[in-house]
């Protein structure tokens, strides 16, 4: 495998060394320095990534950075965390040819992509490069499932941020100060990730967003039961396609994971989960959101479904609802009632 010289090195947690209740930074032998490679050509990436195979299945950390990343906001960097190296795939220097070379891996069921909040990353990949992100483990979804599994039900409008997840004592127990530094820079200049050459801060910040994901993945797999693992798979798939609305109702996307036979016993099978998209007439979205979000929060509290609006990134005239069929239908009815002034 050809590879570029590493820009620098960064400490990577060792999942195999974990013990329940440990904190990553309590023991120096729990991390190892790994190289960070800036990639401008597909030849610099591992062959096992470029050519997915059932004989050599992979789990990698994954993230994207860009300028207002969404269907129209430019993708600038794609980060890949392996157990022995981190690769920063430079979409600006490598261009469309480089990103399209990654398409088989990003769509492969043989490569698990561990990511935190996949929706906008998936949207950018789909609309800018025709990539249908597949087989993800979304740590934001996994965290919520573990909380519910252990009897701690979260509020419907309180998904955990990556910084808060890192601070959780079970998953890492660390403070990610560099993330806040980058956020300040992004507020000052939204084009931060588009500048070249990459500065040392950009390299370390991009690597920092994926360096802990494999460790967190292993910690979460220790906790998730079989039912939660199915929810994780199907909700990850729904979140990947959520904002990737097209004219064929997602027919070109992979099938959703079926309910496993072992979860259908004793009449206690989980309910099928779906994604529903409602059109909102021009000028009516404010009615659904309500003052300071009060109306949509009330809808979320009334049904066990995830409800999203396109927001400023778009699409601005859609409401997306994901969850069990009965709860999505309930959410649909509530939204329609609002539009008809009967809520």
In angstroms, rounded to a whole number, what is the distance separating the alpha carbons of residues 279 and 319? 7
**Helix H or strand E encompassing 216:** helix 213-223
Q: Which of 140-144, 176-180, 215-219 has the lowest mean pLDDT?
A: 176-180
290 and 178 share one domain: no
Model confidence pLDDT, tens digit, residues 147-181: 999 998 766 566 899 999 999 999 988 888 888 88
In 3D space, the residue among 154, 274, 183, 210 whose CA is nearest the CA of residue 12 turns out to be 210
List b or e across 111-129, with b for residues whose CB sees 16 or more CB atoms inside 10 angstroms: bbbbbbbbbbbbbbbbbbe
- From the centroid of its chain, how far is CA 177? 21
Mean pLDDT of 267-286: 90
Q: What is the pLDDT of residue 42?
A: 98
Q: How large a percentage of the chain has pLDDT more than 70?
A: 90
Of residues 266 and 44, the one with the higher pLDDT is 44
The reply to whether 3 falls in a domain is: no
Q: What is the pLDDT of residue 194?
A: 97
Q: What is the pLDDT of residue 277?
A: 94
Model confidence pLDDT, tens digit, residues 194-211: 999 999 999 999 999 999
In angstroms, rounded to a whole number, what is the distance separating the alpha carbons of residues 66 and 125? 11
Angle made by CA atoms 287, 245, 237, in degrees to the nearest 5 = 105
pTM of the full predicted structure? 0.90
Q: Which of 8-22, 194-208, 252-266 has the lowest mean pLDDT?
A: 8-22
Model confidence pLDDT, tens digit, residues 91-119: 999 999 999 999 999 999 999 999 999 99
207 and 295 share one domain: no
Model confidence pLDDT, tens digit, residues 321-343: 999 999 999 999 999 999 887 54
183 and 44 share one domain: yes
194 and 297 share one domain: no
The reply to whether 146 falls in a domain is: yes
DSSP single-letter state for residue 198: P
The reply to whether 242 falls in a domain is: no
Q: How many domains does the chain have?
A: 2
CATH of the domain at 301: 3.30.1370.10
Of residues 8 and 147, the one with the higher pLDDT is 147
Among the candidates 187, 208, 235, a domain finishes at 235
In angstroms, rounded to a whole number, what is the distance separating the alpha carbons of residues 41 and 19? 39
Which residues lie closer than 8 Å to 175 by C-beta, 6 or more apart?
Answer: 166, 167
The reply to whether 244 falls in a domain is: no
Q: What is the pLDDT of residue 75?
A: 98
The reply to whether 257 falls in a domain is: no
Average pLDDT, the chain: 89
DSSP notation for 27-57 = -GGGEEEEEEEEESSGGGS-HHHHS--TTS-
118 and 173 share one domain: yes
Mean pLDDT of 244-267: 88
Q: What is the pLDDT of residue 25?
A: 44
Q: What is the pLDDT of residue 43?
A: 97
Q: What is the pLDDT of residue 22?
A: 46
Highest mean pLDDT among 26-40, 184-198, 251-265, 312-326: 184-198
Mean pLDDT of 112-137: 97
The reply to whether 2 falls in a domain is: no
Q: What is the pLDDT of residue 169?
A: 93
Q: What is the pLDDT of residue 179?
A: 83
Neighbours of 276 (CB within 10 A): 17
The reply to whether 249 falls in a domain is: no
Q: What is the pLDDT of residue 16?
A: 45
Domain around 136: 8-235
Q: How far is CA 117 from CA 138, 144, 239, in A?
A: 6, 12, 8
228 and 299 share one domain: no
230 and 325 share one domain: no
Residue 95 — φ and ψ, nearest 5°? 70, -170
Q: How far is CA 257 from CA 100, 114, 134, in A?
A: 25, 17, 11
């Amino acid at each position: 495998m050809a590879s570029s010289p590493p820009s620098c090195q960064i400490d990577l947690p060792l999942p195999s060394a974990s013990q329940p209740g440990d904190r990553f930074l309590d023991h120096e032998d729990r991390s190892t320095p790994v190289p960070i490679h800036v990639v401008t050509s597909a030849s610099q990436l591992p062959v096992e990534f470029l050519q997915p195979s059932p004989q050599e299945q992979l789990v990698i950390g994954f993230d994207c950075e860009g300028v207002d990343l969404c269907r129209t906001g430019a993708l600038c960097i794609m980060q890949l965390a392996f157990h022995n190296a981190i690769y920063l795939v430079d979409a600006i220097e490598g261009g469309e040819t480089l990103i399209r070379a990654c398409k088989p891996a990003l769509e492969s069921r043989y490569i698990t992509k561990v990511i935190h909040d996949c929706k906008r990353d998936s949207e950018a990949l789909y609309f800018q490069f025709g990539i249908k992100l597949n087989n993800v483990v979304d740590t934001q979804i996994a965290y919520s499932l573990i909380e519910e599994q252990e009897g701690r039900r979260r509020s419907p409008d309180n998904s955990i941020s990556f910084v808060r997840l890192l601070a959780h004592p079970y998953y890492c127990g660390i403070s990610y100060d560099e993330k806040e530094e980058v956020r300040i820079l992004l507020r000052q200049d939204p084009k931060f990730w588009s500048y070249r050459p990459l500065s040392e801060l950009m390299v370390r910040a991009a690597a920092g967003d994926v360096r802990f994901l494999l460790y967190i993945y292993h910690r979460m797999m220790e906790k998730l039961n079989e039912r939660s693992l199915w929810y994780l798979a199907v909700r990850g798939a729904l979140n990947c396609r959520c904002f990737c609305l097209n004219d064929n109702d997602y027919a070109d996307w992979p099938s959703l994971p079926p309910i496993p036979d072992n979860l259908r016993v004793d009449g206690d099978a989980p309910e099928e989960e779906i994604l529903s998209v409602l059109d909102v007439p021009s000028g009516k979205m404010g009615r659904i959101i309500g003052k300071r979000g009060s109306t949509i929060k009330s809808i979320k509290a009334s049904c066990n479904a995830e409800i999203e609006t396109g927001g400023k990134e778009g699409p601005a005239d859609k409401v997306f609802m994901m969850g069990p069929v009965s709860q999505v239908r309930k959410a649909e009815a509530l939204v329609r009632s609002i539009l008809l002034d009967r809520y």
